[in-house]
Structure 1
Amino acid sequence: MPIKTEVWSVGLTPALLQETILPSEQLLEDMIVSAPRLLSEEWMLIGRQESTGLGGRIDLLAIAPDASLVLIELKRDRTPRDVVAQALDYASWVEKLAAEDIAAIYKRYRQNADLAADFKAYFGLPLDEEALNQSHQIIIVASGLDASTERIVAYLSERDIAINVLCFQVFQQDAQQLISRSWLLDPVATQANASNTRSDGPSEPWNGEFYCSFGHSSTRSWLDAQALGFICGGGGTWYSNSLKMLAPGDRVWVNIPQQGYVGVGRVTGRATAAADFTVIHNGVDTPVLQAATRGTYHAEHRDDPTLCEYFVAVEWLQTVPVEQAIKEVGLFGNQNTVCRPTTPKWRWTIERLKARLPHFDKT
């Protein structure tokens, strides 16, 4: 059923706030540009009202931490069929953007700005030109959601199209207007669809093997992960949410960016916030932030469910030290903490890794 939110005042006699509307969808777009966190803390806006050369202009364009693109289209007064069709049409244009095209779009959005430098400042990561625009997702922004739009978007998402709807509602409280937002679908699923359907070649059915990008640095340590049996990701929902795809029994192959593959393990638990995750240390069940001492693990955010580190327990089947990481030309790589790749490169990568890590299936 269509998204519907009700907001009540807090008190002994709660009062239902009256729903109202914004003067225009243009105001909503202006608000998003002024405060991009209305959309997501994990995206950086890089374009606005950019001509596609197809007889239209995209409303907004953003970039995610893995250098994938996010096409953002406001529903405005269009019918469900029109807005979805136009968004898909624009996505076919976004998919073909080369690195130099994206840099030029950003310069038009922020005059004389440098995309690589601003990406590094925003995300704390270098912009990998090879990863740039290897996947994308479509976000439709609406001030109200009808059943037809919901059915269309759900149908496409179930068929692995990375599309979602962010619905805003406005409420009146005395002289002030308040705005709320609700996702139609779980953003984790949309992010997963985007990472699974990369634009660098054909896709094929997922082979059941999970990929993990483990950021070995001062934040998290592969030595800790090896010794204590975990993988982790945090510092924002984009990094931690994909861990929720894992379930006990799943097999996961771990890659350290720029280093190579370092292990394969069997998942034994669900994604758990740092404050609640424990490991066996010196024979004793110990809070992970006490036992894992080689990294910071965003300990300063342990009580913040958005920014804290999340952990997944893993029984290692075979691991190697960072110095012996498996790195070959053509092996699959991705900056998502966890994903379910559907590119033929992933199948080939697994074949190579099984030869290098022969204990991948031990019981």
Structure 2
Amino acid sequence: MAIYRLDGEVNSDCKLIHAKETSLEYEGHIEDWLENSPWALIQDENIIWIDRQPSAKDEEGTIYPDLFGVDIDGNLVIVEFKRGKTPKDVVAQLLEYAAWADNLSSEEIHKIAEAYFEKTNIYHGRDFNDIFSEFYDLPENEELPLLNRKLRLFIVAGEIPKRISGVCQYLRNSHSVDISCVLVSVFETETGERLVSMEAIIGDDNQPDLRPLPPDGVPTPQWTGDKGVREVVKDAVDELTNGDKTIEFSIKDVRTLIQNKIPEFKNTTIGAQIAAGCVNHNSREWHPSAKHNYYWRIKRGKYQLYDSQNDKLEE
């Protein structure tokens, strides 16, 4: 993939200046960056990390998943990073981690997460449920999702051979394993600015729905994406509020409405879309491309449509 920067004023005289691809000195770089950027692994979705290289013991010894997280639905996220070309055994390695994680109880997940929070001094002295609710901006007293109902597996590497991606595609299509392959490339301009490209070649929204078949055995039609994700979320909010800027709504309200109307829609992206369009959301900076001002956060987990006349940011 070629990456360019615009040189000069953005007009018809502007030129494209090539940014050369550069190699990572070691895989820890991208691991560090993603740990610090919980919005970057999956487009339009945030992941709360609960450990990095945890000591996962099995019958044959100890294994170390690179990054370990939980999504807004309580699903566990396991990420394996590889520098350069992905080795042939990476899928087996990732499935080994999955076998370990699949047996974790909620209590064990809480213990892992709280130890990580203490170690990194991110959320010192707080329990997992409180942190989860805050991170995903859930209203006070909203019931949290059950943990570990599903696993989401990711291979992140600078080069992923077709043999590896083909196996992952087979696992997704034939065995409903939620496994994704993400290509990462680092580019550097002549001024030293570094750009990172992350592309999901297997997984994300490009693959068939992985949910089990309904009782009638007929799969749910795949969402065609005739509307963008942002527009789908905004339409749902408009329907919930009927355009009334005094009516409150939550992420759960929006998710429920969209799920009922578009069952195959990727619900895990909705919270990030609302944050991106929320004028006063504290994580809006994670979505620098968001220029739309749709929503106003009135308290944790509760929103209204943005009223430019009355809703003012504090100086």
Fold shared by both chains (TM-score > 0.5): yes
Structure 2 residue 106 is the aligned partner of structure 1 residue 99: yes
Distance 1:78 1:90 in 2: 20
What's 2:31 paired with? 29
After superposition, the C-alpha distances for 1:271-316 in whole angstroms (9 at most, x for unaligned) are 77159859xxxxxxxx858845485579xxxxxxxx999969969x
Instruction: Determine which of 202, 217, 221 is the counterpart of 1:207.
Output: 217
Structure 2 residue 135 is the aligned partner of structure 1 residue 122: yes
By how many angstroms is 1:137 displaced?
0.9
Distance 1:80 1:127 in 2: 43
Distance 1:129 1:277 in 2: 26
Secondary structure of the structure 1 residue equivalent to 2:149:
coil
Distance 1:176 1:84 in 2: 34
What's 2:2 paired with? 6
Equivalent residues in 2 for 1:141-156 (5 A)?
Answer: 141-156=156-171
By how many angstroms is 1:134 displaced?
0.8
Contact kept? 2:49, 2:69, Cα under 8 Å: yes
Distance 1:157 1:141 in 2: 17
What's 2:65 paired with? 58
Equivalent residues in 2 for 1:318-329 (5 A)?
Answer: none
Equivalent residues in 2 for 1:171-210 (5 A)?
Answer: 171-174=187-190, 175-188=192-205, 192-193=209-210, 196=211, 207-208=217-218
Match of 1:101, as an amino acid? E
Structure ID, larger Rg: 1
Contact kept? 1:61, 1:69, Cα under 8 Å: yes
Where do 5+ consecutive residues of structure 1 fail to align?
Answer: 198-202, 211-243, 248-268, 279-286, 299-306, 316-335, 339-363
Distance 1:206 1:42 in 2: 34
Distance 1:93 1:127 in 2: 29
Structure 2 residue 70 is the aligned partner of structure 1 residue 74: no
Secondary structure of the structure 1 residue equivalent to 2:217:
coil
After superposition, the C-alpha distances for 1:34-79 in whole angstroms (9 at most, x for unaligned) are 2222214421101111111133111111101111111111124675
CA RMSD, Structure 1 to Structure 2 (Å):
4.0
Distance 2:207 2:35 in 1: 22
Equivalent residues in 2 for 1:272-351 (5 A)?
Answer: 273=231, 291=242, 293=244, 295=247, 337=267
Indicate how the Cα distance of structure 1 residues 314 and 83 shifts in structure 2: closer, same or farther if over 3 A, else same: closer
Distance 1:169 1:64 in 2: 25
What's 1:215 paired with? none
Contact kept? 1:246, 1:271, Cα under 8 Å: no
Secondary structure of the structure 1 residue equivalent to 2:88:
helix
Where do 5+ consecutive residues of structure 2 fail to align?
Answer: 8-13, 119-124, 269-315
Match of 1:46, as an amino acid? I
Percent identity of equivalent pairs: 23
Contact kept? 1:297, 1:309, Cα under 8 Å: no
Structure 2 residue 178 is the aligned partner of structure 1 residue 162: yes
Instruction: Determine which of 32, 49, 53 is the counterpart of 1:45.
Output: 49
Match of 1:170, as an amino acid? V
By how many angstroms is 1:141 displaced?
1.1
Contact kept? 1:17, 1:172, Cα under 8 Å: yes
Q: TM-score, normalised by structure 2?
A: 0.63
By how many angstroms is 1:104 displaced?
1.0
Contact kept? 2:24, 2:83, Cα under 8 Å: no
By how many angstroms is 1:93 displaced?
0.7
Distance 1:25 1:182 in 2: 17
After superposition, the C-alpha distances for 1:204-239 in whole angstroms (9 at most, x for unaligned) are 8873375xxxxxxxxxxxxxxxxxxxxxxxxxxxxx
Q: TM-score, normalised by structure 1?
A: 0.55
By how many angstroms is 1:81 displaced?
2.4
May I ask how many residue pairs the two structures share in their alignment? 239
Indicate how the Cα distance of structure 1 residues 208 and 82 shifts in structure 2: closer, same or farther if over 3 A, else same: same
